Structures are given as C-alpha cells and as structure tokens.
Chains A and B, each alone.
Chain A
Amino acid sequence: METKNLEESLGVIWHFQEQGTKNQEKICSKLKEGVNEQIFDELLNEKLIRIENGNIVFTPEGEKIASNITRRHRLAERLLNDVLEVKQGEIDKSACEFEHILSEEVTDAICTLLGHPKFCPHGSPIPAGECCKKAKEEVESIIVSLDKLSPGEKGRVAYFTTLEHPQLHKFLSLGIIPGKIIHLHQTHPAYVIKVEETQLALEENLAKNIYVRRM
C-alpha cells in the first residue's frame, strides 16, 4: 500500500514537472489533498526527492521510479485505448491499477507490441524504456512499418499510425485489418501488396503508416 502511494505521488510530481511546475508549495498541497498528509515527508525520508530553493527535485532513484510509473501508466492507456475496446472513464481507472502491477518484462512486452509508442492517447510523452533503446539499435525489429519490408516478404498487420478517418476506413474495408497478412510484391514504381485475394497499390507515404509484425 505504501509503495503504491509513493509511486503514485512520484508520478504526480513527474507530471507537474513536465508542465514546468516545480514549486514545492503548489505540488505539496496537491499531494496532500490527493494522497495523504504525510506523503511528502515520506518521500523526503525515503530520499526520493529533495528541495532546492523551494523547488522539488528528483533524486536519481526517485527519478527512475517516477519515469517508470509514468511509462507504465501511459503504455497502459495506449493498450486500453488502441487494442482493447474500453470507454474513456474506464481507461483512467484501469490505467491507474495497471501502473502498479505491471512488471518490467510485461511493460516492455506491451511497449514492443504497441511498436514503442512515443505518446499516450492524451498526447503526453511516454518515457522510453530499455526495450525502446534496443529497438532503435536493432535494425531488424519485430514490428516495422511496411516500407521496411523487402519485396517478397510478408507481415501481419499490427496497427496504423496516422488515423485519418476516411483513410482508416478505406484500409479496413479493403481488407488491411490488424491480424491480416500482407504480402509485399514490389516497391517500385509504387508499392503493390496483397491481402487475402485483394491486390492493392499504394504510395510509399501510405506504406509508412502501416505497421506489420515480420513473419
């Protein structure tokens, strides 16, 4: 229970700092109101934060926890929003539960599944984890945009990036649906792909928006 509160509070402080608020009093009153009266002293005692000129500053350890909890929360939001069909109110509630129970492995797995997203559904940045750094280094990552495949290769549709509505609808109705296998036939002069028995031609810019799991 106690760690949960500590984590929660560090997450709140992280959020404030993102917005540019470091002022001790402001944050402190929010924490006391939202968590409990003693939480601020506990954070100091545990050496997770310290005070500098009336501003709150993370200690290295505190920063790590704060970054991790934020990362888990926002990834959970992405998961609930993109993959599971969950209503807005539910997302906030569940994400708050998820952030405390996800292990590092599971978090990284979700992150990989989602293709190492950079932003949560509300547009706040998701702190990068180990897996994101690795994914950047590894040229051959698992989920890649379609333009990273070579002709003759195939991949299973994972998700799309720019979701302009008519475009998304067109993808879906022509059979480019998450879970379907795309065969890449050629890339020049335009991309030609085959999904089931439907053959489609599209330009490179669109291909970049389709993310597939290599097969």
Chain B
Amino acid sequence: MHEYQIEKKIIAEKKLVLIGNPNVGKSVIFNHLTGKYVTVSNYPGTTVDISRGIGSFGLGKEKYTVMDSPGVNSLHPHSEDEEVARNLLLEEKPDLVVQVADAKNLRRALHLTFELAELEIPVILGLNMHDEAKERGIRINIRLLEKLLGIPVVPTVAITGDGIGELKNRIPEAKIPNKKVRYSPEIEEFVKRIEIDFLSGERGNRGIGLMLLAGDMTLYPYLNKKLKKDKFDRLLTFLEEERKGFVHSPDWLVFNYREREAIEIISQVQEIVGKIYSSLAEKLGKWTMRPFPGYLILLAVIYLMYKFVGEFAAGTIVNFLEEKIFQQWINPFFTKIVVSTFPLKFIQEFLVGEYGIFTMALTYALAIIFPIVTAFFLFFGLLEDSGYLPRLSVMLDRVFRLMGLNGKAVLPMVLGLGCDTMAVLSARILDTKKERLIVSILLALAVPCSAQLGVILAMLGGLSWKATVIWLGVIIFFLVSVGWLSAKILPGITTPFFVEIPPIRRPSMSNILAKVKMRLVWYLKEAVPLFILGTLVLFLMNKLKILNLTKYLMSPVVVHWAGLPVKTTEAFIVGFLRRDYGAAGLYALAKEGLLNPQQIVVSLVIITLFVPCLAQFLVTIRERGLKTAAAIFFFTLFIAFFAGGLLNFILSWVKII
C-alpha cells in the first residue's frame, strides 16, 4: 500500500505515530527517530501542529513516516490536543504506535497503553527517562512488563541517546497489546452492542465503543462520515438511552477499571528500592517555586537574560555586525555593485539609498534584529527545556490573576518578549476565549518583542537610570491596569490555575538548537519581507512627497501633544509595520542628537505601547477575528499617544530628567 503525504519531501510506505503523556520527552525521541527533513504542519481544522519526518527502522531498514502528536493524558479527548492525537490514530490509521512513557510514572502511561490496546493498534513502549527513575530508586522489571502487556518495552534516556538504537531496531516488532482491561458486565454489554449493532468488523471498535460510553461527542463527525444516516441516528438514540442507566458517570467507571489494572501490573513489575534521595536538581526545583529564594532566582534569571540578550547580543554583537561588517564591508560592496550596474538614480536610491532595500531593510533585519532574536530564542529554549517556565507560572500566578489570567499565561507573555506574533499563536494553550483575548490585547499593547526591546534598552542605556525606571513604570502600569479592566469588562470565564510541573532537567543543547533553528526560520520568513515592504513604503512616500504631508497631518499629535520633533513621525509610520523598526528609527534620531532625554523617554513609551506590527496584526485577525483585531489596533494607538502625551506634560512639569 502506497501512501501519499501532505508535504512533498516526505513519502514513506508505512506510518508510525508517537504518542505519550505530556513532558515525557516525545519530541527528543522524535528527533532521534527522524532525519533532517522534518515538516511542521497544522492539523486540519485545529490549532495544533503535527511534525512529520522520515526514518528507517529494524533490520530491513524499512522506511516509515514518523508523526509526532501533542502530549495527552487520555485518548478520550478533553482538550483540542487530545482530540488531535486521537483523530490522528483513527484517520491516519498508522501501522504502529511508539508510545513514549515517563519511567517514573508508569501508571499514567499504562492508561494510554490500555486505550491503544482497545483501539487494536500495534504498540512498542519506550520507557523514557529511565535514568531519573533509577535515581529515585524505581526499578522496573522490563521483561515481565513485556510479558504482561504483550508488547516490546525498551528503556531509553532520550537526552543522551541511551536505548534509542534498541528502540529503532525493535520498532517492527510492535504488537497489539494482549492485555485487555475487563470492565463490569454492564459496560461489556454496552460495548458489545455497539460493536455488533453499529460498527462491524472494523479495527478498534472496542475502543470506540468505550469512548462513546464515556460520552465522547467529538467522535460524532467521524462516525457520521462512516455510518449511513439512519444507522448514525439510531446510534445517537441508543447512546442517549443507554447512558442514562449509569448513575456514575461512565467516564469515571471506565477510568476506575483501568486504574485497577494499572495498579495490578505496577505491583508486579515495579519495585521501589532504597531511600529516594533528593538530588540537587530536585532541591533547585523546589527553591525556584518558593517565595524565598524563588523571587531572587527570578530576578537573577531576568538579570542574566538582560546580560545575554540586552548587553551581549544587542550591544556587542550588534555593534560588531552593524558597524564593522555591514557598514564597512557589505554595504560599500553592494553600493559599488549597484552603482556600477544600474545607472538609473532612482534604482540606486531604491536599493542603497537612505531608504534602500540593502542599506536600510536588510542591514536592519540581519545586523540588528537577527542576533537579538537568536539570543532570545536560545535563552527562551533554555528556560523551556530546563523546566523553569512552569515554575515561573507558579511565581507569577497571583500577578496574572489580577489581570483575569492565571499562571499558565506566563508562556505566551514571556514568549512575547521574543516575538509577539509567535506569542499570539501560543495563546492557544489557554483554556477560554476570554483568557486568549486578554493575552492578545496585552501582547499588542504592552509586551515589547526582543527586537524592539533590544533597541529600547540600548537607547535607555545612554540616559540616567531614572529614564529606565519611568519607562518601565509606565509600561507596567498600563499592562496591569488594562489587564485588570479587561478582566472586569470582557464577558466570559477564566479558569483556575492547575499545571503539571516537570522536574528541573539539564536541557539537551541539540534539542534547543533544533528549536531555535525552527523559530529563526519562521521568524526570518515572516520578518524580512515586512522589512522590505516597510522600506518600500517609506521610499515611495518620500519620492511621492507624501511623507511630508503625513508628517504635517500628524504634527498636532506628535509635536504639540507629545512634544516630539516632527521627524519622529517617520519612526511611527514604519512602526505600523514593525514596532522594532519604529524603535530603530527613534534610535537613529537619538544618535543624531535630535531628541533630548525627555523626548527619548516619551517616544519610547509611545512606540512600546504602539499598535501591533503587521504580522502580529494579521495573526490576531486570524486568531481573534477582524473586528476584535481592529478594536485592539485602535485601542493601542489611542493608549500609546494618550500615555505619551500625559507623560510629556508630567515630565515638563516636574523636570526629573
């Protein structure tokens, strides 16, 4: 049987899906199993991404398409992630599943194995993080576990690559687990009737029957496609009738039977030996969540991030690239080529002039933004893979609660400090519409991306510390007060804070680099065209003399209300395309000595609170709808100039800087 694939590069005869609980190291295993060519695509109709790659396993080196699925606790879906994982199994009909388990948490893994057994899919179980389990005195009898489940089980340590060879070799040995959970007679009866009356002879009917019993309505579209109309209608009536007969939610009953079996197996194969000692990592993990020294650690992390991203990348590296490489070598080189190739002045200016593609857009994108963003993603990857981010959500939960969010929102908000566009996408991890909306508003208003932040910090660095305090104070004030008001005004509900905290781990550098690379490619694809577009707009406006007209029109607000020189308008115009581009414009003006310290602070407050960049705006439209995105746009525009003007008056009056 030949299979086709969505992405052209990936074609293989057989299919393999990776399934596992969250935080078990599935992605690292995925990287081990697949080669260089990995594509990430959106699962149709959802917001969940699926990575696909290709690998060859076993002695015959047979080729498989490998699909990574989101981490799940159950195949009876309670979240979009779980629904995607389940549908992937039903619709892609993989030849086998590699289940990745946390060896420390066999119980949770077994629930999934039972579900896979009920869907009658061949499974091979990778017991990952075997080293951590050992460290905690957990011993698992692998051979016995293999026998009880009837599938191959391979202990692995994905980070170091331990056991991956064996896993790859044994993948073709995957079998349908012969361990079947026995349920109560009523449940068995129900499932049998579903199997006989409605779904005949298909693989995995027992699993589907149990999901239906548990009240899984997300299966209806799938069954509606498969069954004839009258049969589907009869099924719905049957379900409604039968499910009434259970006092206890059938979901809970099914869970209980599985739990019993899981405990039974664990009691046979698992042994806890010796004292479970608390390693340094574990202690560190605890410290990071306590008020003391947790908040100190938090400050240290922010300081390190400032040193690495703000000073090293945005300072040292950017200066070197911009002043040495680009201004002394690359730009003169291109200028020479352009001038000698194109005699037309217009084209020369278009490419290497004041608003030139090379001299402005590419220099800016590659010499200034690229190193800053790279540094940020590296640092963020480190926080992500070490397990610090969920701890940060514990520390900041209360602050976020003020803004109608909970600690979970830490991820999109911190990611926003890297790239707001990416952050708007990641707001999907939040549970309710209201929370996602609040995050979208706050990201647009008060979270500067790393590129913008780099430029801003460089400008503030040249002024007294008071300037930084004022800028930060104003931004935080608007962040919290707008969040607080949104929480009060917007309809909808917010969810309680409840997250899993993975142990602190030494991150795998190769995994971080792989992620950084993926994010950078995404970023460059998204940002560079916008830089070029922005430069083009400025170039044309300049040529067509619209620039001066716009400056004239905006001068009441910019000059009289905010007290800024009229040339800052240029920065704000490009700020509509990218805020960091706008900030860079201000940077250039400040360098030329056209802005005094007060004007610098005021203009920075405006550009920070300014409208989202074009990419972020487009993504916000896609995620939240045009109306909402437009409302956010005008709201942020208003707040930005309102805050700037107000600050201008206050500073003119008190004269502290």
Q: Give A86 to B246 CA distance when docked, in angstroms.
A: 8
Q: Check B496–A175 contact: CB distance below 8 A.
A: no
Of A81, A91, A206, which one neighbours B496 at CB under 8 angstroms? A206
Contact among B78, B102, B398, B401 for A170, CB-based, below 8 A = B78
Please report which residues of chain A, range 136-166, place their CB below 8 angstroms from some CB of chain B when the two chains form the complex.
165-166
Q: Is B466 an interface residue when CB atoms closer than 8 A count as contact?
A: no
Q: Can you list, as one digit per residue, whether each of B255-278 has a CB less than 8 Å from chain A (1) or not (0)?
A: 110010000000000000000000
Inter-chain contacts of A177 with B (CB < 8 A): 259
Which listed residue (B102, B108, B501) contacts A201, Cβ 8 A? Answer: B501
A206 and B499 alpha carbons, distance in the complex (Å)? 12
| B247→A174 contact, CB < 8 A | no
Stretch in B286-294, B302-310, B507-515, B583-591 with 4+ CB within 8 Å of A:
B286-294
Residues of B within 8 A of A188 (CB): 290-291
Q: Which of B389-397, B470-478, B530-538, B635-643 contacts A (4 or more CB under 8 A)?
A: B389-397
Is A101 an interface residue when CB atoms closer than 8 A count as contact? no
Q: When each residue 161-202 of chain A gets 1 if its CB lies under 8 Å from chain B and 0 otherwise, what string results?
A: 000011111101111010000000110111010001111111
Is A205 at the interface (CB under 8 A from chain B)? yes
Which one of B73, B111, B291, B503 lies within 8 Å of A199 (CB-CB)? B503
A196 and B107 in contact (CB under 8 A), knowing A87-B245, A172-B255? yes
- Do residues B499 and A197 form an inter-chain contact, with CB atoms below 8 A? no
Bound Cα distance from A200 to B499, whole angstroms: 6
Q: Closest approach, in angstroms, between the C-beta of B115 and any C-beta of chain A?
A: 11
Chain A residues bordering chain B, tally (CB within 8 A): 33
Q: Which residue of A lies closest to B396 (CB)?
A: A189
CA distance A118 to B62 in the complex (A): 63
Task: Mark A58-92 against chain B: 1 for CB-CB distance below 8 A, else 0.
Answer: 00000000000000000000000100011110010
> CB distance A169 to B497 under 8 Å?
no
Known: A85-B253, A172-B252. A200 touches B184 (CB 8 A): no
Chain A min CB distance to B135 (Å) = 11
What's the minimum C-beta distance from B433 to chain A, rounded to whole angstroms? 15
Q: Which residues of B contact A85 (CB under 8 A)?
A: 184, 247-248, 253, 256
Any chain A CB within 8 A of the CB of B207?
no
Closest to A201 in B: B394
Q: Quick check: B105 and A198 within 8 Å, CB to CB? A: yes
B278 smallest CB distance to A (angstroms):
12
A46 sits at the interface (CB 8 A): no
Residue in chain A with minimal CB distance to B104: A197
Looking across the interface, which residue of chain B has its beta carbon closest to that of A91? Answer: B247
Q: Which of B247, B249, B500 has the most CB of A within 10 A?
A: B247
With beta carbons under 8 angstroms apart, the residue of A86, A87, A166, A168 that contacts B252 is: A168
A97 within 8 A of B: no
Chain B min CB distance to A90 (Å)? 8
The answer to whether A169 touches B78 (Cβ under 8 A) is: yes
Q: Do A190 and B107 touch across chains, with their CB atoms under 8 A apart?
A: no
A18 to chain B, nearest CB (A): 23
Q: How far is the CA of A107 from the CA of B640 in the complex (A)?
A: 66
A87 to B496, CA, bound (A): 32
Distance in Å: Cβ of A136 to nearest Cβ of chain B: 27
Considering the chains assembled together, what is the distance between the CA atoms of A85 and B259 in angstroms? 15
Q: How far is the CB of B328 from chain A (nearest CB, A)?
A: 51
Q: Would A88 and B73 be within 8 Å (CB), given that A174-B500, A200-B498 are in contact?
A: no
Instruction: Tell me whether B567 is interfacial, beta carbon within 8 Å.
Output: no
Asked whether B74 is an interface residue with its Cβ less than 8 Å from the other chain, the reply is yes
B136 within 8 A of A: yes
Q: Are B394 and A206 within 8 A (Cβ)?
A: no
Residue numbers in B under 8 Å from A192 (CB-CB): 289, 394, 501
State whether A203 and B499 are in contact (beta carbons under 8 Å apart), knowing that A86-B247, A166-B78, A189-B395 are contacts in the complex: no
Q: Are A87 and B247 neighbours in the complex by a CB distance under 8 Å?
A: yes
Q: Considering only CB atoms, which chain B residue lies closest to A177 in the complex? A: B259
Q: Which of B479-526 contact A (CB under 8 A)?
A: 496-503
In angstroms, how far is the closest chain A Cβ from the Cβ of B272? 10
Interchain CB contact under 8 A, B394 and A199: no
With A168-B252, A198-B108 known as contacts, the answer to whether A189 contacts B394 (CB < 8 A) is yes
In the complex, chain A residues whose CB is within 8 Å of the CB of B401: 203
| Bound form: Cα–Cα A87–B498 in Å | 32
**Known: A85-B253, A173-B111, A192-B394. Is A200-B501 also a contact (CB below 8 A)?**
yes
Q: Residues of B contacting A172 with CB < 8 Å?
A: 252, 255
User: Nearest Cβ in chain A — how far from B204, in angstroms?
Assistant: 21
Contact A170:B247 (CB < 8 A) given known A190-B394, A192-B289: no
A202 pairs with B497, CB closer than 8 A: yes
**Set of chain A residues within 8 Å of B95, measured between Cβ atoms:** none
Partner of A203, one of B107, B247, B286, B498: B498
Complex CA–CA separation, A197 to B136 (angstroms): 9
Residues of A within 8 A of B496 (CB): 167, 202-203, 205-206
Contact string against B for A residues 102-131, beta-carbon threshold 8 Å, 1 for contact and 0 otherwise: 000000000000000000000000000000
- Residues of chain B within 8 A (CB-CB) of A203 are 397, 401, 406, 496-498
- B162 adjacent to chain A (CB < 8 Å): no
Nearest A residue to B105, CB-CB = A197
Task: Assess whether B251 is interfacial by the CB under 8 Å rule.
Answer: yes
Q: Assess whether B247 is in contact with A201, with CB atoms less than 8 Å apart.
A: no
B53: interface (CB < 8 Å): no
Instruction: Return the 9 tightest CB-CB contacts between A and B, nearest first.
Output: A173-B73, A197-B104, A203-B497, A199-B501, A202-B498, A201-B394, A88-B247, A190-B394, A190-B397
Q: 7 A-B residue contacts at CB 8 Å?
A: A87-B245, A88-B245, A88-B247, A169-B251, A186-B289, A190-B398, A203-B406
Task: With A173-B108, A186-B289 given, name 14 new contacts (CB 8 A).
Answer: A87-B246, A88-B247, A167-B496, A170-B73, A173-B111, A174-B108, A189-B291, A190-B397, A197-B105, A199-B285, A199-B501, A201-B498, A201-B499, A201-B501
